[in-house]
């Protein structure tokens, strides 16, 4: 395995989810222990910061689609939250 890129996060990362959204691109969501998790988008041959998501003790993300709607499920010790966008494929808009 060859290292391609290191992603810096603002806290300990407990999980990552790599996923693609048709016509939007390739993404990585990081589940960070502290107050903010992050989403990165593949741009110009590397992952670049795309969106910060307020979280608390995030454990993992799971990507899923229903029809054409892409969403992320965030798992924490106490609750699961779903992030998606009913208007299209942009990641991270709260439902």
pLDDT tens digit sequence for 16-30 = 999 999 889 999 999
Q: Is the pLDDT of residue 89 over 50?
A: no
pLDDT at residue 95 is higher than 50: no
DSSP code, position 67: T
- pLDDT for 87: 45
**90 has pLDDT over 60:** no
Give me the residue label for tokens 């689609």: 65
Task: Write down the pLDDT at residue 20.
Answer: 94
Of the candidates 63, 2, 56, 66, the one whose C-alpha atom is nearest the C-alpha of residue 34 is 56
Among 2-6, 19-23, 41-45, which stretch is predicted with the lowest mean pLDDT? Answer: 2-6
Share of the chain above pLDDT 70, in %: 82
Q: Using an 8 Å Cβ cutoff, are 32 and 74 in contact?
A: no
Question: Among 93, 83, 4, which residue's Cα sits nearest to residue 42?
Answer: 4
In the DSSP assignment, the letter for residue 87 is T
Burial degree of 13 (CB within 10 A; 0-12, 13-18, 19+)? middle
* Predicted confidence band of residue 57 (pLDDT cuts 50, 70, 90): confident
């Amino acid at each position: 395995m060859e290292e391609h890129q290191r992603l810096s996060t603002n806290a300990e990362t407990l999980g990552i989810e790599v996923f693609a959204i048709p016509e939007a691109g390739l993404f990585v969501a990081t589940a960070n222990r502290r107050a903010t998790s992050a989403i990165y988008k593949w741009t110009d041959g590397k992952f670049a910061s795309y969106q910060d998501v307020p979280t608390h003790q995030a454990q993992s993300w799971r990507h899923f689609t229903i029809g054409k709607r892409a969403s992320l499920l965030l798992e924490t010790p106490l609750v699961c939250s779903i992030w998606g966008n009913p208007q299209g494929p942009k990641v991270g808009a709260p439902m």
